[in-house]
Structure 1
Amino acid sequence: MRMMTFVSPGKAKKVGFALGLTALLTVSVMSLASAAPSIDYHIWSLQQPDGSTISSSQLVSGYSSKYFYTASDGGQAFMDPQTGSTTSGSSHPRSEMREQTTGGSNAAWSWTGTNTMTNTAAVTLQGGGSSGSTTIGQIFNSTDSIPLVELEYEATPNSKGGNFKLLYEEAKGAGTYTDLSTKAALGSKFTYEMSLSGGVATVKINGTQVFSKKPSFSGKTFYFKAGNYDQTATSGSVSTTPYTIVELYSVSVVHK
């Protein structure tokens, strides 16, 4: 979490003025605190659509760019343009965080423990028109370099009338999509939880479980991803024109 330092002025001589000033300062501090996204940047690196990777130490130091900045409502904005650089094995650019260890190396944890990521988010701009779809969270299989679970947001309601769909993939190229009925209008906040605990993958949206499956394999390692991995953006000359924007207001990762 980014920290702020507040220095208060000297004491006022008049009691009434001091009380009023104290109240004013308290409100100001609370307002500033509520505007800061609750994210522990120590355990994340950032992949950007211009091909750069930003380290956790840079994020902790307050890094920002055209693709990663604090939005006017206090959310951490992840902007993806319509075209940009792609990572290995992908045809889409991304503005997305990749989980790290507290020591700064790439996270790779076993599925046998308790591993949960809970985020409060909003998609404030969706590219791709009626076919637009953006991955906002992943449980990624680092052993096979494929996602196990991808949670995607669609501004246009899907076949079940909801705004989310889920990709589940145990083997490369053998993934299947499931439309979810949960609704979330463009620009509205929602909370999602992705978990791989005790060998079972689960997804919850706004506290309701929408998916659960026990993978048939074992002995693999995983990590979380969160942000904006637009599924209709393509490889090409990088742009700074917003195409899709995802905001994260809080990110919580628990491993036991």
Structure 2
Amino acid sequence: MHRSLLCLASLLLVAGCSHDEPGDYQSPADNYDLTHWKLTLPDDEASEVRSDELKGGYASRYFHLADNGAMVFMAPAGAGTTKNSDYPRAELRELLDPADDNRNWTGAGFHQLKASARVLRAPSTQKIVVGQIHGFDARPLIKLQWEKGKLKSLIKRHPKGSNKDISHVFATPVGNDLFSYVIEVQDGVLTVEVNGERIQHDFYKEDAAWREVPFYFKAGAYVQDDDEDGDDDVGEVQFTQLNVHHD
């Protein structure tokens, strides 16, 4: 199964708008296939936007189309959070079946998230997670974090029990420029690539308990800051490419 979410053949956009907040915003749905995603917002309730709402033209200050055709995610520091996190997010969550969150994929086979993005604004901590493989009722296998202008991978050794990370900082600084990343799994081996630099980790070998964990991809702006320090203390990320592939 292959899903390409980027379609920038034209910048002549006719997009739906949302009026739930002041201002008019263009919807990403005209440029991106959002069929297999739902969105978590950084509002007080950490609301979710279903895939049918995304396809129907949802847009807000938290999630909209930029004038250049990029998909924008924006999350203020100290905003609303999900029950299992201290940090706010404007973040897409992959859905193999848009009607069933319980259908996910395992570490067997081949699974790939490929993206290009840039961080336009960062919170005072200078930390934003821009991509993940998350375990269903388990920890994230991998978080890719923009931190002070560099990309860092944070790989969990175990789905439960010890909460230790394997961390790797990619050599090339990205600052606020466009960068590309690939996060993929093939038969229990995780590969992370940023701007051509690759690392690998055999998570099945690290802990056989990962074999029993279902997974899903996430992408967006997951701000690692629980304390708002002024109106400009926000994370804002633009995605210009976001593809998912499963075999």
- TM-score higher than 0.5 here? yes
Q: TM-score, normalization: structure 2?
A: 0.79
Q: Does residue 1:194 correspond to 2:189, yes or no?
A: no
Tell me by how many angstroms 1:120 deviates.
1.0
Q: In the alignment, which residue of structure 1 is the partner of 2:129?
A: 135
* Structure-2 change in CA distance of 1:241 and 1:60 (3 Å): farther
Gaps of 5+ in 1: 5-28, 157-162
Q: What SS class does the counterpart of residue 12 from structure 2 fall into?
A: helix
Q: Is this contact kept in 2: 1:201–1:212, CA < 8 A?
A: yes
Q: In 1, distance between residues paired with 2:107 and 2:99?
A: 21
Q: Does residue 1:253 correspond to 2:233, yes or no?
A: no
Q: Is this contact kept in 2: 1:80–1:242, CA < 8 A?
A: no
Q: In the alignment, which residue of structure 2 is the partner of 1:32?
A: 12
- Map 1:179-218 to 2 at 5 A: 179-215=168-204, 216-217=207-208, 218=211
Q: In 1, distance between residues paired with 2:116 and 2:133?
A: 16
Q: What SS class does the counterpart of residue 57 from structure 1 fall into?
A: helix
Q: Deviations over 1:129-165 (max 9, x none)?
A: xx41110000111142x11110000134xxxxxx011
Letter matched to residue 192 of structure 1:
Y
Pick one of 54, 66, 79 that aligns with 1:71: 66
Tell me by how many angstroms 1:181 deviates.
3.0
- 4+ runs deviating over 4 angstroms: 1-4, 239-242
Matched pairs, number: 219
* Structure-2 change in CA distance of 1:64 and 1:31 (3 Å): closer
Larger Rg: 1
Q: In the alignment, which residue of structure 1 is the partner of 2:152?
A: 165
Tell me by how many angstroms 1:117 deviates.
0.6
Q: RMSD over aligned Cα, in angstroms? A: 2.7
Letter matched to residue 135 of structure 2:
N
Q: In 2, distance between residues paired with 1:74 and 1:3?
A: 9
Tell me by how many angstroms 1:219 deviates.
2.0
Q: In the alignment, which residue of structure 2 is the partner of 1:42?
A: 35
Q: In the alignment, which residue of structure 2 is the partner of 1:25?
A: none
Pick one of 89, 93, 115 that aligns with 1:94: 89
* Structure-2 change in CA distance of 1:30 and 1:49 (3 Å): closer
Gaps of 5+ in 2: 14-27
Q: What SS class does the counterpart of residue 58 from structure 1 fall into?
A: helix
Q: Is this contact kept in 2: 1:182–1:205, CA < 8 A?
A: no
Structure with greater helix percent: 1
Pick one of 106, 110, 113 that aligns with 2:106: 110
Letter matched to residue 95 of structure 2:
Q
Q: Does residue 1:225 correspond to 2:185, yes or no?
A: no
Question: Percent identity of the aligned residues?
Answer: 28
* Structure-2 change in CA distance of 1:221 and 1:72 (3 Å): same
* Structure-2 change in CA distance of 1:102 and 1:108 (3 Å): closer
Q: In 2, distance between residues paired with 1:49 and 1:79?
A: 8
Q: In 1, distance between residues paired with 2:244 and 2:6?
A: 16
Q: What SS class does the counterpart of residue 130 from structure 2 fall into?
A: strand
* Structure-2 change in CA distance of 1:97 and 1:69 (3 Å): same
Letter matched to residue 48 of structure 1:
L
Q: What SS class does the counterpart of residue 109 from structure 1 fall into?
A: coil
